[in-house]
Amino acid sequence: MKEGPDIAQIGALIGDPARANMLTALMGGKALTATELAAAGGITVQTASTHLAKLEAGNLLAQRKQGRHRYFTLADDSVGKFLESIMGFAAGRGHLRHKPGPKEPALRKARICYDHLAGDYGVRMLDSLIARGAIDSIGDGLALTESGETALKDIGIDVHALKSSRRPLCRSCLDWSERRAHLAGSLGKALLSNFLEKGWARRAAESRSVVFSPEGERQFLALFPATK
């Protein structure tokens, strides 16, 4: 039939376990070297190198040379969003891993989705923002309200600066673990950065999970109360 774009190509790119693991590792938002990605994929550096070349040729990855290191990141945030949506789809279809692993609960609670907060806490934050009228929503669509803008200023986020960026302020991103939307876009990124700067939370070393400090958790939960 050969109609439309070639979905088999990207399917094949994502379809290899080693490549999928490397992409998942890059969802953490950090730039990683080829050696680190090889470890993430469970393969040697040689093999990783060919995989990375293919992913780059497919425009899924971007590369930045720095000295003798070569740092890889997802090509842009749309790739991250796309990967998260695949995860949501996969989880919904029962394509889970054989053994959930010990880190799974932490991931479900709070994790990084490329550059913003996801998991239970990410969903809770968005729900709470909507409930208090800081964000309007229709279906999947999100928009910051006037009152929301001032509320965020109190938290310490310069909404005005974010608005000047080309990137959309609010985007919804489907959370694979909660199967609900969480907040992406430049605002989602700014909020996560804010929490990390304040020391409320930190990124786990070798994982995408986000670990809250006891005090940070208290503050976060107070700032974003449960809805209903």
Residue closer to DNA, measured from CB, 23 or 113? 23
Return phi, psi of residue 66, to 5°: -150, 105
Shortest CB 175 distance to DNA, Å: 29
Shortest CB 23 distance to DNA, Å: 13
Token pair of 87, please? 């995860």
State CA 177 to chain mean position distance: 12
Shortest CB 58 distance to a copy of itself, Å: 7
Torsion over CA: 78, 84, 170, 71 (sign): negative
Question: Is 102 one of the binding residues for a copy of itself (CB under 8 A)?
Answer: no
Distance CA 194, CA 170 (A): 16
- Summarize as ranges the residues that interact with DNA (CB under 7 A): 12, 16-18, 33-36, 41, 43-54, 65, 67-70
Shortest CB 61 distance to DNA, Å: 10
Shortest CB 83 distance to DNA, Å: 18
Binders in 55-84 for a copy of itself, by CB under 8 A: 58-60, 75, 78, 82-83
Distance CA 27, CA 24 (A): 5
Q: Which does 103 bind (CB under 5 to 8 A by kind): a copy of itself, DNA, none?
A: a copy of itself
Shortest CB 57 distance to a copy of itself, Å: 10
Residue closer to DNA, measured from CB, 58 or 168? 58
CB distance 116 to 174 below 8 Å: no
Question: Is 103 one of the binding residues for a copy of itself (CB under 8 A)?
Answer: yes
**Sole binder of a copy of itself in the list 73, 149, 168, 221 (CB under 8 A):** 168
Residue closer to DNA, measured from CB, 42 or 199? 42
Which residues of the chain form contacts with a copy of itself (CB under 8 A)? 1-17, 19-21, 23-25, 40, 58-60, 75, 78, 82-83, 85-97, 101, 103-104, 107, 136-143, 168, 170-172, 176-177, 206-208
